Amino acid sequence: MSDTDPPLVEMTGVTKKYSGIVALSNVDFTIRAGEAVCLAGENGSGKSTLIKILAGVEPRNAGDIRFSGVAQGALSPRASADAGVMVIFQDFSLFPNLSVAENIAFSTQLSAQGALYRKAEARRIAAETLKRVGVDISLDARVESLPVVHKQLTAICRALAMDARLIIMDEPTTALTEREVKTLLGIIRRLKADGVAVLFVSHKLAEVLEVCEKVVVLRNGEKVAEGPATEFDSASLTRAMTGRDVAETPPDPLAADAPVLMKVAGLSKDGVFHDIGFDLRAGEVLGVSGLLGSGRTELAKALFGLVAPDTGTITLNGAPIPLGDPLKAAAAGIGYVPEDRLTEGLFLDQSIQRNVAVGRLDAYDRGAMLDLAGLWGEARDWLKKLSVKHSDPEAPVRSLSGGNQQRVVLARWLARGPKVLILNGPSVGVDVGSKSEIHDIIQALAHEGLGVIVISDDLPELLATCHRLLVMKGGRITDEIIGTDTDETDLGHRLAS
Amino acid sequence: MSRTISSRLSSPEARLALIAVLVFVFMAVLSPDRFLSVQNLTSMAFQFPEFAILALAVTVTMLTGGIDLSVVGVSNLSAVVAAMILASIAGETAVGAGAVMWLILSMVVALSIGAVCGLFNGALVAFVGMPPILATLGSGLIFTGIAVALTGGSAVMGFPAAAAWLGNGLVLGVPVPLILFALLAAIVAFIVSRTAFGLKLIMFGANPRAARFAAINVNGLLLRVYMLSGALSAVAGMLVMSRANSAKADYGSSYLLLSILIAVLGGVNPYGGYGKVIGVVLAVLSMQFLSSGLNMLQVSNFARELIWGVLLIFVMLVNSPRAAALLRRERTT
Amino acid sequence: MKNINLARNEVLVALVILAFCAFAALSDPRFLSIPTLTDLLRNGIILGIFSVGAMLVLVSGGIDVSFTAIAAFAMYTTTVFLLEYAPGLPWYVIFAIAMVLGALLGCINGVLIAVFRLPTLIVTLGTLSVFRGFLLTFVGSKMISALPPDMRGFSRMMMVRGTNADGSFYSLPWAFAALVIVVVLTWFILHKTMLGRSIFAIGGSDESARRIGIHVTRVQFFVYVYVGALAGLAGIIHASMSRLANPFDLVGLELSVIAAVVLGGARLAGGYGTLTGTLLGVALIVLVQNSLIVLGIPSTFQSITIGILILVGTGLPAWQAKRAEARAA
């Protein structure tokens, strides 16, 4: 492959409008065989539109697309697939009830147009592609029983089985642990050597920069930056994505006499976490970090009663809290903002104000009947306090942006006047601008004397918000660090080692 | 399938109100003397409350994203037990205060049985984690089976005369079943829109997982929802018993489909999270106007079933975003 | 024994069947005999064909309750048509007519579900009323016992016929072969064709299926048409075997059929279901419906027994799944 060959994909002046609103404006983009490119941008920057156009799912309004130098007319999913453009969506689009072999070979057999399912051939194709990628997954395992990284590899193999020449990966690393990311990057290198091009689409790209040749940044539908990957780091990426410098300031130091609010001792759950103990002081922001699978999310859920520990105690202001009962935990003054906002946090089709008020129904229960005026009034006050941008409190919460949605969940818990607030991944899927605003809210809450626990693997976020950090590994707390004593590199090492 | 079906509708209730009025006007124009006669109107008012109340029972469970397939089983079991009290303890000859007392007692017993059956359903859904369709399919067979075992499969008859009042009586010229239905519909509407329980059950229906994460007492909620459904079914059972002047394990077996049909026709989202009692009331009225109008036109009972089915599918198509999208594409190409 | 997974419905149902037969044999030694077996097989034909269809729908992620109405419609309409116009047709043509009629009605479900994407339970509840109402209003509502001669002839064709040691007769009609053919054909479709794999795929995730280019609409449409044809077949066999075309028959069986299928391990959420499990589920339901009395349980307890079986058979796996989830945190 040389640079004189026409690029695998060449887009020039591609524009896309959705009912008059410009989603992509005059964008040029090229990718060559064996090349890896990062496509970065915040939510709504036009990344997904670009993928959809390349995949032939959405038609473009203007612009040229060439595959290996050949000009393309209107694309269809089939035309893109024939050219070897394969998208691996964030959810992998696999069939949980079918075997690995069948998942890998399904598309191939479909496009062969045969009426019969050839099981032996499916296994052969699957075994070959798995070998090409260099991983060992049982062909007969049901996909639902696989760990996330194996699901992702199965999806990659499916694309390869279809002779993929360009694999587009949508948010490939969000669900992976650091070690799994390393595995993935190893495989990407192998694919590149094989002449396959890879396009990473993400708003969290620092981890994949090392395998990429090029970075392209979109903002508001326009290409705002492009250059060799070596010229970017996470700070400059953020700047390009948001168009401004987002300076994170570390939190104000905690008062030396701040009283202990919550005490956790000897908390264990077989096979999940062991002998967890810590104190949380009033006004303190405590970070809990660890890779996925370290037990951090389970610990967070256990503190809120969603997971029942086998042994241990949790006390709040000296009073013990029954384990494994979210109702009692909430009544005692613990709040929990879940990681997966869309499935665990929000009632998407319900109104914004209902999503806030759902936490206060019992408080406004006047015997037989709800004080609706009071309930909605309070919900609207909280929306204002957290400056949730909305047109109508009765509009479905689905209509809000990620950052505003997260504030709605926060408002629900703050309305209950909690003593301790547990935030699991407070800025996952939130654009960079809203992220720092959410960090400001966390600091303000701590100032008011709340104890805040932030569970995250976003190191800059932890450094910007936390007084103290606990590092979890294999279900145990392995490290305790004062926030000012560390930096991103040091913390990264402590997490991974 | 998407949960957004209902959210995209401007207002299914408005459409239903239109349908109800159109059907009424159509029937009134077609056969003014008979359809608008006092006799027809009262006879309608005696007919529909029993299945309308069952539809309310199905509605509350559907709001949580569940369903109650045991409503007819519960109503027959409650009615059979009540009937046994009335027939063998009170006896046909009981009159006056004694008879009224027995009637009240039998109603209390029927309601308690309904609530206990509902509690059982709720426990299967909440604690065992069964899908509501299967839980209530199985429990419905058991409830029916108990009623069969109690009666040997035959009808229980011979009530005191007072028992007939419930299904056939008039208060100020208004049929008792109608009053009962209006009362229950108002209560359910109040529960759904004005109480913490009601709002929680809608939120649960919209996203059960988020409800748990929002510290809603999910299990308690499910128990209460199915108990409410069971109690409503028991009331319907008492009405059927009183009107038929007997109780039997397999009465009203066509009411199950009918009540689900009415709930869905009334705009209740079968996936949970959306539904209004007023919609269900309008759906009941449309169905009743339609079927008694057809009755008047000498259309057979079977044709009614046909028309109900057509109406249901028609309304679903009208409310379906997909159908609208297909139609639009048709027009533009 | 350690490898036997009690959470698997097939195993659970098979064990219950074995226990049932063991107890039945203890209380009445005559239970374990060829006549009992042929009776059970005969009684399982209609339920079996229905269940195979219902299983297919569950695997595809839907649910169908209208197939009994399709069966009654196809069976009765075919009979009326034949008596009027062509009473002398051979049985296989009669069956083909009924299956085509069933498939046509299945098309209606298919259009509503596959094209308009309406929720399957509600659609089929609606079409159940429509098919039944149409049949009884426009085709007829009287029972017909004077069936076309070849339908009666078919019911007399026996695969196996014999006399037991105690002098009682037993026989198994050729109609049973129809169930066998349906099972084999369905097995072939489900496991050996891309269509069948696509049905599983759609049941697993219809969104993923769309993305990799499965024609979801077409596959779903096929499912409902196929189920319609099976229902038509079951209907006409039912009429032949009972030597009566009763338009009120069959409707009401749908929940028992679904009960048999879920007992056999098919999941309401779609993507899972086996023919073995389904047939075991059918066997159990048929046993309970026909042989409860052998265990000394009066037949009035039939519906309680089936209800308990459904609750245990579907409740146990549900409960285990719930506990496993709590353990895994």
pLDDT value for A206: 66
A-proximal residues of C, 264-293, CB under 8 Å: 271-272
Of chain A, the percentage scoring pLDDT greater than 90 comes to 33
The residue that leads in pLDDT, A484 or B330, is A484
User: Is B212 in contact with A326 (Cβ distance < 8 A)?
Assistant: yes
Residue C235, C-beta contacts closer than 8 angstroms, at least 6 positions apart: C70, C71, C72, C73, C74, C75, C76, C98, C102, C250
pLDDT value for B329: 64
Q: Is the dihedral of CA C13, C15, C17, C23 positive or negative?
A: negative
Q: Of C116, C309, C322, which has the smallest distance from its Cβ to B317's Cβ?
A: C116
Cα–Cα nearest to B307, from B256, B248, B265, B244: B265
Say if CB B77 and CB B143 are below 8 A apart. yes
Which whole number is the average pLDDT over B121-125?
Answer: 96
pLDDT in tens, A361-375: 888 888 888 888 899
Residues of chain C positioned with their CB less than 8 A from the CB of B145: 300-307
Whether A19 and chain B come into contact, CB under 8 Å, resolves to no
User: Is C191 in contact with A269 (Cβ distance < 8 A)?
Assistant: no
Residues of chain A positioned with their CB less than 8 A from the CB of B196: 361-362, 364-365, 370
CATH architecture of A260-496: 3-Layer(aba) Sandwich (3.40)
Q: Of A93, A158, A298, which has the smallest distance from its Cβ to C329's Cβ?
A: A298
pLDDT in tens, C211-264: 888 899 999 999 999 999 999 999 999 999 988 999 998 888 888 898 899 888
Helix (H) or strand (E) holding B88: none
User: Is B215 in contact with A359 (Cβ distance < 8 A)?
Assistant: yes
Residues in chain C: 329
Residues of chain B positioned with their CB less than 8 A from the CB of A354: 199, 203
CA dist A440 and A432 (Å) reads: 13
Residue B96, C-beta contacts closer than 8 angstroms, at least 6 positions apart: none
Weakest-pLDDT range from A275-279, B59-63, C316-320: C316-320
Band of residue A101 on the pLDDT scale cut at 50, 70, 90: very high
Instruction: Provide the residue type at B127 as one letter.
Output: F
Q: Do domains A9-242 and A260-496 have the same CATH topology?
A: yes
CA dist A264 and A420 (Å) reads: 13
Cα–Cα nearest to B73, from C135, A354, C303: C303
Q: How far is CA A68 from CA A31, A34, A191, A192, C231, in A?
A: 10, 13, 18, 17, 53
Average pLDDT, chain A: 86
Instruction: Provide the residue type at A91 as one letter.
Output: D
Asked if the structure places residue C329 within a domain, the reply is no
Q: Domain-by-domain residue ranges, chain A?
A: 9-242, 260-496
* Strands A70-72 and A9-18, sheet pairing: unpaired
C-proximal residues of A, 100-139, CB under 8 Å: 102, 106-107, 109-111, 114-117
> How far from chain centre, in Å, is Cα A193?
29
Helix count (H) and strand count (E) of chain A? 15, 22
What interhelical angle do C120-134 and B255-265 show, nearest 10?
120
Band of residue C3 on the pLDDT scale cut at 50, 70, 90: very low
What interhelical angle do C254-263 and C302-328 show, nearest 10?
40
Q: Nearest residue of C to residue A295 by CA position?
A: C329
Cα–Cα nearest to A358, from A411, A286, A317: A411
- Rounded to a whole number of angstroms, the distance from the CA of A95 to the nearest CA of chain B is 16
Average pLDDT, chain C: 89
Band of residue B330 on the pLDDT scale cut at 50, 70, 90: low
Average pLDDT, chain B: 87
Q: How far is CA B180 from CA B94, B168, B169, C95, in A?
A: 24, 12, 11, 51
Q: How far is CA B18 from CA A64, B186, B280, B289, in A?
A: 51, 21, 14, 13
Q: Is the dihedral of CA A323, A324, A326, A327 positive or negative?
A: negative
CA dist B91 and B99 (Å) reads: 9
CA dist A439 and C236 (Å) reads: 70
* Strands A468-473 and A476-482, sheet pairing: antiparallel
DSSP type of residue B86? I
**pLDDT for residue C195 is more than 50:** yes
pLDDT in tens, A68-83: 888 888 888 888 888 8
pLDDT in tens, C115-143: 998 889 889 989 998 999 999 989 988 99
Q: What is the SS3 assignment for B190-253?
A: HHHHHCHHHHHHHHHHHCHHHHHHCCCCHHHHHHHHHHHHHHHHHHHHHHHHHHHCEECCCCCC
Say if CB B196 and CB B214 are below 8 A apart. no
Strand partners, A468: A286, A482
Whether C196 and chain A come into contact, CB under 8 Å, resolves to yes
Q: How far is CA C24 from CA B47, B97, C12, C304, in A?
A: 47, 53, 18, 18
Helix (H) or strand (E) holding A11: strand A9-18
Question: For residue C146, which phi and psi values (nearest 5 degrees)?
Answer: -90, 80
pLDDT in tens, A15-35: 998 777 788 889 999 999 999
Of chain C, the percentage scoring pLDDT greater than 70 comes to 97
**pLDDT for residue A232 is more than 90:** no
Tokens encoding A13: 């002046």
**Which value does ipTM take for this structure?**
0.86
Instruction: Give the other-Cβ count within 10 Å of C138's Cβ.
Output: 13
- Rounded to a whole number of angstroms, the distance from the CA of C284 to the nearest CA of chain B is 15
DSSP type of residue C250? S
Tokens encoding B29: 């124009």
CA dist C81 and C83 (Å) reads: 6
C-proximal residues of B, 289-328, CB under 8 Å: 299-300, 302-310, 312-313, 316-317, 320, 322-323, 326
Q: Of C116, C132, C141, which has the smallest distance from its Cβ to B323's Cβ?
A: C116
> How far from chain centre, in Å, is Cα A274?
27
Which whole number is the average pLDDT over B169-198?
Answer: 92
b or e along A437-462 (b: 16 or more beta carbons within 10 Å of the residue's beta carbon)? bbbebbbebbeeebbbbbbbbbbbbb
User: Is C133 in contact with B306 (Cβ distance < 8 A)?
Assistant: yes
Say if CB C42 and CB C176 are below 8 A apart. yes
- The structure tokens 């060829």 sit at C34
**pLDDT for residue B310 is more than 60:** yes
Whether B153 and chain C come into contact, CB under 8 Å, resolves to yes
Q: Nearest residue of C to residue A119 by CA position?
A: C192
Residues of chain A positioned with their CB less than 8 A from the CB of B202: 350
Whether A181 and chain B come into contact, CB under 8 Å, resolves to no
Weakest-pLDDT range from A267-276, A343-352, A394-403: A394-403
User: Is B7 in contact with A358 (Cβ distance < 8 A)?
Assistant: no
Residue C320, C-beta contacts closer than 8 angstroms, at least 6 positions apart: C7
Residues of chain C positioned with their CB less than 8 A from the CB of B270: 119, 121-122
pLDDT value for A430: 76
> How far from chain centre, in Å, is Cα C86?
29
Residues of chain A positioned with their CB less than 8 A from the CB of C193: 115-117
What interhelical angle do C34-59 and C194-204 show, nearest 10?
70
- The structure tokens 């009362």 sit at B183
Give C312: exposed, middle or buried? Use CB within 10 Å, 0-12, 13-18, 19+: middle
What is the extent of the structural domain holding C114?
A: 53-305
User: Is B7 in contact with A338 (Cβ distance < 8 A)?
Assistant: no
Strand partners, A194: none
Bin A478: left if φ > 0, else alpha if -120 < ψ < 50, else beta.
alpha
CA dist B292 and B97 (Å) reads: 37
**pLDDT for residue B81 is more than 60:** yes
User: Is A370 in contact with B194 (Cβ distance < 8 A)?
Assistant: yes
> B313, B320, B329: which to substitute to probe chain C, counting the most C Cβ within 10 Å?
B313
Whether B89 and chain C come into contact, CB under 8 Å, resolves to no
Band of residue A204 on the pLDDT scale cut at 50, 70, 90: low
Tokens encoding C256: 């028992």
CA dist C293 and C311 (Å) reads: 21
CA dist A75 and A58 (Å) reads: 8
Please, which chains are in contact with A (at least 3 CB pairs closer than 8 A)?
Answer: B, C
CA gyration radius, chain A: 25
Instruction: Give the other-Cβ count within 10 Å of B2's Cβ.
Output: 12
> How far from chain centre, in Å, is Cα C325?
33
Residue C51, C-beta contacts closer than 8 angstroms, at least 6 positions apart: C257, C260, C261, C264, C278, C279, C281, C282
Question: For residue B320, which phi and psi values (nearest 5 degrees)?
Answer: -85, 125
Tokens encoding C100: 């085509």
Asked if the structure places residue C44 within a domain, the reply is no
- The structure tokens 């949508």 sit at A170
Asked if the structure places residue C24 within a domain, the reply is no
Asked if the structure places residue C68 within a domain, the reply is yes
User: Is B302 in contact with C132 (Cβ distance < 8 A)?
Assistant: yes
CA dist B230 and B122 (Å) reads: 10
Say if CB A329 and CB A359 are below 8 A apart. no
Which whole number is the average pLDDT over B126-155?
Answer: 91
pLDDT value for B132: 92
Q: How many CB pairs under 8 A join A and C?
A: 66
Weakest-pLDDT range from A171-180, A301-310, C101-110, C116-125: A171-180
The residue that leads in pLDDT, A251 or A176, is A251
Q: Does domain A9-242 fall into CATH 3.40.50.300?
A: yes
Whether B268 and chain C come into contact, CB under 8 Å, resolves to no
Q: How far is CA B207 from CA A346, A397, B148, B218, in A?
A: 8, 13, 38, 11
Residues of chain B positioned with their CB less than 8 A from the CB of A358: 199-200, 203, 211, 214, 216
> A344, A354, A361: which to substitute to probe chain B, counting the most B Cβ within 10 Å?
A361
Question: For residue C167, which phi and psi values (nearest 5 degrees)?
Answer: 90, -5
- Sorted by where each starts, the structural domains of chain B and their CATH numbers stand as 13-28+42-318 (1.10.3470)
The count of domains in chain C is: 1
pLDDT in tens, A426-443: 887 777 678 888 888 899
pLDDT value for C155: 81
Of chain A, the percentage scoring pLDDT greater than 70 comes to 95
Interface of B with A (CB under 8 A): 3-4, 6-7, 190, 194-196, 199-200, 202-203, 206-207, 209-217, 273-274
Q: Of C192, C193, C208, which has the smallest distance from its Cβ to A93's Cβ?
A: C208
